[in-house]
Amino acid sequence: MLLSNAMCAQRDWACKNQRRFAHAYNMFAFLKVPQQHAKGSAFAPSCNGVTVCSHYDLIIIGSGPAAQKCAVDSAKLGRRVAVVDKLGMIGGVCVHTGTIPSKTFREAVLHLTGFRHQGFYGRAYQPWRERISVPDLLLRVQKVEKTETDIVVDQMRREGVEVITGTARFAEADEDDAFTDATSEGAVRVMVLKTDASHESEASAYRHLDANMAKMALSAENVLIACGTRPLRPAHIPFDGVRVFDSDQLLWGGVRDVPRELMVVGAGVIGMEYASMMNIIPGTNVTVIDPRDKMLGFADTEVVQALMYSMRTKGARFLLNEKVERVEKTDAGGSGGRGRVVAHLSSGKKVVGDAMLYAMGRQGNTDSLSLGSVGLETDNRGLLEVNDFYQTSNPRVYACGDVIGYPALASTSMEQGRRAALHMWHGQHAAALAMALDDGAAGAAPADHSMIRSPMDGGFLGRSSEHLFPYGIYTIPEISMIGKPEAQLTEEGVPYEIGVADFTELAKGQMLGGADGFLKLIFHRETLQLLGVHAIGEGATEIIHIGQVVMAMGGTVDYFRNAVFNYPTLAEAYNVAAHDAFRKISL
């Protein structure tokens, strides 16, 4: 009897670990082909060819930063976690079409153009002697993308998170037969679908939306929606992935040549990042078109003006308060051998170029989730509303990351995923305590403005957990900020003063070739409390964190006057800006 029990225990242990490691091995090597599960694994055929899986504590739809953080933190607490994402998209939008590729694209542009060294060797300096092509830039992007995917896969494998490839949606009422009786009452039910590979297209921004072949039936106590967003593609814009494309299509290889005349529609973060990158490639002229009267409206006005000036000196043109009514493409016959793209604007203007990058916003990847099955609805952009703990109106369903809207940053998405896991497994009190510790840091000044939000307060949807975080915009030159801009403080009637350090006056700035840029400290004139830090120039997204720590502790500008910084560094700008600040308030 004892031997029998021991053998059963050994068999159960072996099955469990075989399932974990064999499943991980099959699913994690870029997950090119859906794998069949061996007899005796956790997956057993049920009805109509659908594989029925055992119950999970947590199912996560998506595998980006929010999903990874929530999955790993939950697994470390001993929870059984499954992550479901589309074939070839492990790592999410962040790794494949968003943060990682776009920032790598930027580094490739800076390297191949020799832009960082032109301050010393002149604008004619270019280490890459041939005309730069898009495949030249994507070579670096694809290498980093592969490495990052490996890192994500390895991290989840080490923590025992199960990864399932396919398109997830919530189960509908007529699919109850696909679930076992072991499913706990009230559990959330999820179907995983697959698409015939012959119907997939890398030129489509909507691949997998038509998935309708049932693959698995899952259930869980909680579900996290972290499926990200995709570029908005209006019907009146003739996307072809070659001459008219969005930010995803630019990375997919359909665009071969860097356009000599590029129109960028949309002066938001994504549009301005790519516009500024293309703008420094020799032989390329960029025209930015946007219906708003100000680009990057949440950023400090002086910073935006500095960016526009820098881009204009390299040939960029800005057409604000202009809406694109329609777009037409002409063939190569009447344009000296080149097909052209013509944008007809609301003012009657026509803008002609070789290509158009359309970047007027993004849309949530929620339209294939059957959200009605769990009582959820989205706004007109497919985004979900959540509370302070990232719960939707269905308390068993959470949502994090870009799919809940602003700020839609990889950095904040990670923290959202962590806090969602904290609330799932430790309850409201623990999650609220974590938020209180973050937002009410020791030493914070008691003034009304001590609860400082980032530059666009209206985007918080009432979440008290996101008062203070840095924002980075990877334009050339790069921008970063934390806290409030001058315009907002003026509107609020706060008596403030500023201190500014110009990068060209720093020794490190000269070593970098006379790098353009500055650091601005905004502080309360009476209490000296630091209210905002705004930077533009090389290293801006790195040095912003010094200001973040001081602001989180409720510190004053006096700290920077007394602190000793390494020399020569860009961080020294804090000390220079502080001395400028005290000069102004002593006048």
473 is in an annotated binding site: no
Spatial separation of the C-alpha atoms in residues 104 and 356, rounded to whole Å: 21
Strand partners, 244: 356
Tokens of 22: 């064999």
Report phi then psi at 233, rounded to 5.
-130, 85
DSSP string, 393-433: SSTTEEE-GGGG-TT--HHHHHHHHHHHHHHHHHHHHHHHH
C-beta neighbour count of 476 within 10 angstroms: 23
Q: Is 27 annotated as a binding residue?
A: no
- The C-alpha angle 538, 541, 547, rounded to 5 degrees, equals 115
User: Which residues on neighbouring strands pair with residue 191, listed in sequence order?
Assistant: 169, 217
Q: How far apart are CA 294 and CA 307, in angstroms?
A: 12
Nearest 10 degrees: Cα torsion 488, 266, 269, 475: -110
Is 270 labeled as ligand-binding?
Answer: yes
Give the whole-angstrom CA distance, residue 587 versus residue 581: 10
Decide: helix, strand or coil at residue 264. strand
Q: Decide if 390 contacts 271 (C-beta within 8 A).
A: no
Q: Nearest-CA neighbor of 323 among 294, 291, 348, 295?
A: 291
Would the CA dihedral through 206, 210, 213, 218 be positive or negative? positive
In the DSSP assignment, the letter for residue 448 is G
**Whether 320 contacts 345, CB under 8 Å:** no
269 labeled binding residue = yes
Neighbours of 89 (CB within 10 A): 22
**Residue 267 assigned to a binding site:** yes
Write down the residue that tokens 């990200």 correspond to: 228
**Separation CA 449–CA 527 (nearest Å):** 11
357 φ/ψ angles, rounded to the nearest 5 degrees: -100, 115
Q: Write down the residue that tokens 């020794």 correspond to.
A: 507
State the DSSP code for 98.
S
Among residues 552, 533, 555, 557, which one has the least CA distance to residue 484? 533
HEC assignment per residue over 440-487: CCCCCCCCHHHCCCCCCHHHHCCCCCCCCCCEEECCCCCEEEEECCHH
Nearest to 253 by CA among 162, 338, 172, 136: 136
**Residue 228 annotated in ligand binding:** no
Instruction: Write out the DSSP string of 343-361.
Output: EEETTS-EEEESEEEE-S-
**Residue 160 counted as an annotated binding residue:** no
Residue in 210, 250, 237, 238 with CA at minimum distance from that of residue 98? 250
Give SS3 for 268: coil
Q: Is 114 annotated as a binding residue?
A: no
Answer yes or no: is 273 a known binding residue.
Answer: yes
For residue 366, what are its two tokens? 């929620």
* Annotated binding-site residue numbers for NAD(+): 266-273, 361
* Annotated binding-site residue numbers for FAD: 103, 402
* Annotated binding-site residue numbers: 103, 266-273, 361, 402
